[in-house]
Structure 1
C-alpha cells in the first residue's frame, strides 16, 4: 500500500472540511508543517465587533454619551440648535444600538431632539419625536400612566404651532384624561390642561364648547388655590372672550372685572398686568358706547404705561391714541387736540432720531452732502419757533425747544467743521450752547469788556 505524504493528507482534510461547510477559506504556507495551523485559524469565527451592530446589541460608551449630552446643552444655550441636534442624534443612535428601539431610556434623547426641532421650527419633525416618546411610554408603562401627560402636552403645543388645532385638541383631551385617571377630577394639575383645550376650541370658533371647560378650570383653581389666585386669570380671560363672541357682554364684563380685581390684589394697582386688563375693558366699553367708562379705563392704563415705560414709549403712545379716540367720540375735541399733538410730537422725535442716525452713518462713509441734508431736515422738524434761524436766538421758558435739538446741532456742527464750513459750524455751536445752558463765547467776551471798562 502506497504511503500518503503529510502535506497531501492535510490538503484532503481541508477539502473535506470545506465540503461540509466548516471553513470557507484555506491558506497554505510555504512550509508543509504550517498547513494545519492555517486551517485552524480559518475555521475560527470572526470575533471583531461590527461597527454598526444590529439593533439591541453593541457597545455603549457612557462617558462619551455624557460628553455629547453636555456639549449639546452648551450649544442649545448658545442657540446653535442645528449643531446640538447632530449630537442628540448620535446619542439616540448609540442608545438604540445598545438598548433596542423601545427602551424607556430613549425618551430622554427623543425629548431633546423634539426640543431642538421645535426651536428650529421643524414642527412636523418634533411631532414625530414626541409621538415616539408616547409609543415607548405606552409600551413600558401603559396608556394611562401619568408620565404621558408631559409628551402629550408637548404634542399639543407643537400641533398648535402648526395651526393644526383639531389635532392639538385631541392630544390635549387625552392629557386631561390621563390626569383625571391618576389624580382625580378636581386635581390642580387639570386646570392648565382644561384651559388649553378651551383655547383650542376658541381658535376653532367653538365658543359654546369652550365655555364649560373654562368654568371647570376656574372651579378647580378655586378649590385648590382660592378664589383670588392668579391661576384663575387665563380661564377668566378665555371666558370673557367666549362670552363676547356668544353675544353675552354683561358676563364678559363680569369676568374681566374679576380678573382686574385679582391682578390688583396680586400685582398692585399700577402693574403692567392691570394695564393689560384695563385695555380690554376700555375696548369693551368703547364698543358698547359706554364712553365715560372707556375713558376711565384708558386714562388709567395711560397713567400706568407712562409711569412704567415713559410717556413716549410705544405702548404709552398707543394708549394715548385710544384716550384721544374716546374723547373725540364724547365730543371733547378740546381735550382730544393736545393729545393728538403730543402723539405727533412723539412721532416726530422718533423720526428725527432715525434721521440723525442715518446722517451719522453717511458722514462716516464720507457722504457729507447727504448727511448735511438730513441734519437740516431734522432741525426743520424740531425748530418750530425759528430758534436756529433767528439772528438773536432766545429761549421761551414757556415753550422751549426739545432737548433733541441741541444734540442735533452738536452733530451738525461737527459735520460742518469736517466740511470746512467754519462760519456755519460756529453758528450751530453757539445755538447749541444756549440750549445746553452754557454761555456762548461772544457773551463771555462782552462781559469781560464791561469789566475792563
Structure 2
C-alpha cells in the first residue's frame, strides 16, 4: 500500500475533503520529485472538484495549476500549457481579471513560456502579473519583489543585463526592507544578483554576495537544508570559473552530500550535483572520474523525469562534450544528435538550447574537417540566438566568433573580419572590455589581421 493511502481510504470516493488530502499528499510527493506518485493524486483531486463544484470553480483552477506545475517539472510543457491557460481563464471569470490568483496564473504560464524559450510571449504576462501585484499589494510588497525577480530572470535570459541589474537591486531592497536582512528571500535576491555579476565576469563583486546568501541560509534554514546546497553549488561554480578548482570541489561535494541525505540519492537535484562535479573534474582533466558521474546524472534524470526531458538532453550534451574532449568523436556525435532531437521536440526548433546543440555538433564536425556540414549549423545557431536572445547577446557573439573561425580557416578573410569585429563589439558592450570572452574575440581579430598582412 502506498504511504498515505490508508488515510485517503477513510473518505468516500467523491468527498471534497478527499480532494484536499489527495492534493496535499501529491504536493508532498512532488517536493521529493516522486512525480509518478503525485500525478494520479492531482488528477484525482481535479476530478472530484470538477464533479462536486463544477468545472469553472476556483478550486478546479487550483487543481489544474498544480497538475500543470507537475507536468512542467517533468518537461511535459505541451501538456502543461493548456492546463495553465484554462486555470487562468477560470480565475479571470470567477474572481476578476485583477485578482491576485490571476496574477499567480499569469506568472506560472510565463514561467512555462520562458522555459520553452518563448520570451516574447512570456514578457507581457510577467509584466501584467507585476502590475496586478503592485496595484493590489503595493510596490514594496515582497510578492511584488518576487514578480520583479521573475521578470529579471527573463530579461537576463535574453542578455538584457543593463535592464536586469536595477531590477535585482530593487528586489533585494524590497526584501530587506519588508522581511529583514536575514530572511531566506534576501538570500535568493543576493544569489540572483551574484549570478548576474558572474555572467558579466564580475567575479570579485559576485563572491561576497554568494557567501552572504550562503550564510543567511545556513543560519535561518540550518546547514543541511537543500537551499544551502544550492548556495554551495552556486559559489562552487563561481570558484570553478576562476580556476579555483580545489575550493570548488569541496563545495560541490558538500552540496551533493546534503542533497543525497535530504532528498534521496535519486532526486533530480542530486543529478545536478553529480553533473556539476563531473564538469569540474573534466575541467581538471580527470576524465575517468567524470564520466561515471555524468552517466549517473543522466540515469537519475531519465528515471525521475523521463527520457525526453530537457535535463536528459543536457546530460547527453555534457557527456558528449567529455567524449569530444578525449577525441572520441564517433561516440560523441550520436549523443549530440539525440540531445538536439530532445530539445527540438520538447522546447521547439527555435529555443536557445537547440542553438547550443547545433553549435556543439558543428564544433565536432569542424574538428573532423566536415566544413560543408558545419557552416549551415553555425548559421542556424546564430539565427536562433539573434531571434530569441536579441542581436546584442553574448551568445550571438559566440556564434559570430565560431562562424568567423570557420571562414578564416577556409581563407575567406574578407567575410571573417566583420564577424570577428561584431563579436568583439557585442562582448565589450554586454560583458565588459576585460571579460575573458571579450579578450578571446579581440585576440581572434588580431590574429586574423596579422595573417592578412
TM-score range, shorter chain: 0.3 to 0.5
Give the TM-score taking structure 1 as reference length: 0.45
Larger-gyration structure (1/2): 1
Give the TM-score taking structure 2 as reference length: 0.45
Q: Which has the higher helix share?
A: 2
More relative contact order, 1 or 2 (CA 8 Å, 6+ apart): 2
